[in-house]
Amino acid sequence: MFDIQEIRSQFSILDQKVNGKPLVYLDNAATSQKPDSVLTTWERYYKEINANVHRGIHTLSQLATEEMELSRRKIQKFINAKHDFEVIFTKGTTEGLNLISYILTQKLKKDDEIIISYLEHHSNIVPWQLLCERTGAKLKVIPIDEQGILQLDVFDSFLSEKTKVVSVNHVSNALGIVNPIEEIIAKTRKNTDAYIVIDGAQSAPHFVIDVQKMDCDFYVFSGHKMYAPMGTGILYGKQHILEGLPPFHGGGEMIATCSFDGTTYAGLPFKYEAGTPNVGGNIALGAAVDFILRVGQENIQKHENALLEYAQRKLLELDGIKIYGEKANRTGVVSFNLEGVGIASDVGMILDKLGIAVRTGHHCTQPIMDFFNIAGTVRASFAVYNEFHEIDLLVEGVKKAQKMLS
């Protein structure tokens, strides 16, 4: 049974008031709130176990190691990775993408090509630009149409023997558009031997991920968008690919032997986990997976899709509302502007006075905003704990903003 009140009762932060109004938290694409079970797990680590992992024979170190490796195995099953050592702990999606772009440096040469899309977060643009600067490779960008949908016929024309990397997001953080990842991967496999990288920051919280079925080479996502602490994330990579690529950071944990004459590297996953990890956060990420699975991924997807459909319908009942990607397949996000209101942040500030938290601006996707010739949007994004009456409050707040700013 899907009991929204029981779910909300697990998020203590939602009980507070902001500016004298009940908090309506609709900024989940930036970061989700954390259930008590995740916070308790994190707190328990520091109160009862706190010790470094993999490095001690004493009891606390052994307990910490067992808990963190259990979390790794939970995440392995969550994304259906073939092996637990294909799951690398990171600080988040940004670090994962930077890691991949760095370790691929030796695999590219001048005039090779990297394909990304217009829908990417800056974190899936800048690392590839840096890789192009290091290697002389060229960046090609899949365009979008007026609905924000990728133009795959142009993608087809890009694919060639020069294509060495294809890196796209599963879901757009700015518009909520769900990209046809399976089709993109199939086209890539048919025409090239390029590495396929998927930014899953906005998909992992919302629906089932199966990296083996998907057949991507890398998949990255962040913990803080899926009910886990900030500073946590995952890089999945296929075993044979990770084993054949160089390390990212050097230091403790990632070595097999170290001397002044040279160093040999540890096996997976430790080859890519140099230094002391975020042990408490990584363990809490496993607790977040437990929470998602208890609620049920299909339940979450169904509820959030219903919220999105309701929000779009109610907003479009107002005059002067422009929703971006209105007719595209979307999840979790409605991104909009008010006609005649030049600055989205003005709307956001009025909503905040009403206790409603939304995100305004370019959402680290300036190319999308340039395409639509706007400075930014108002973005409301949903999580499992949001309710339909909160959308009603959002719509009433937008009405008030229209009156105040017109």
Catalytic residue ranges: 364
With beta carbons less than 8 A apart as the criterion, state whether 159 and 187 touch.
yes
CA 313/CA 384 separation, integer angstroms: 19
**Residue 388 · residue 56 · CB < 8 Å:** no
CB–CB of 315/398 below 8 Å? yes
Name the residue among 222, 173, 230, 169 with its Cα closest to residue 196: 169
Q: How far apart are CA 259 and CA 19, in angstroms?
A: 59
d(CA 360, CA 365): 12
Please give the single-letter amino acid code of residue 260. Answer: F
Q: Are 141 and 166 in contact (CB under 8 A)?
A: no
Short-list 206, 172, 141, CA closest to 362: 172
Residues with Cβ within 8 Å of 244's Cβ and at least 6 positions away in sequence, in order, are: none
Locate 310 and state its tokens. 């309701």
| First-to-final CA distance of the chain | 45
Q: What is the largest CA-CA distance in the chain?
A: 72
CA pseudo-torsion sign 10, 201, 250, 125:
negative
Residue 277: exposure state from Cβ atoms within 10 A (0-12, 13-18, ≥19):
buried
CA–CA distance, 264 with 198 (Å, rounded to integer): 30
Give the pair of three-digit tokens for residue 247. Answer: 């390390």
Tell me the DSSP string of 123-177. GGTHHHHHHHHHH--EEEEE-B-TTS-B-HHHHHHH-STTEEEEEEESB-TTT-B
Cβ(51)–Cβ(64) below 8 Å: yes
d(CA 243, CA 255): 14
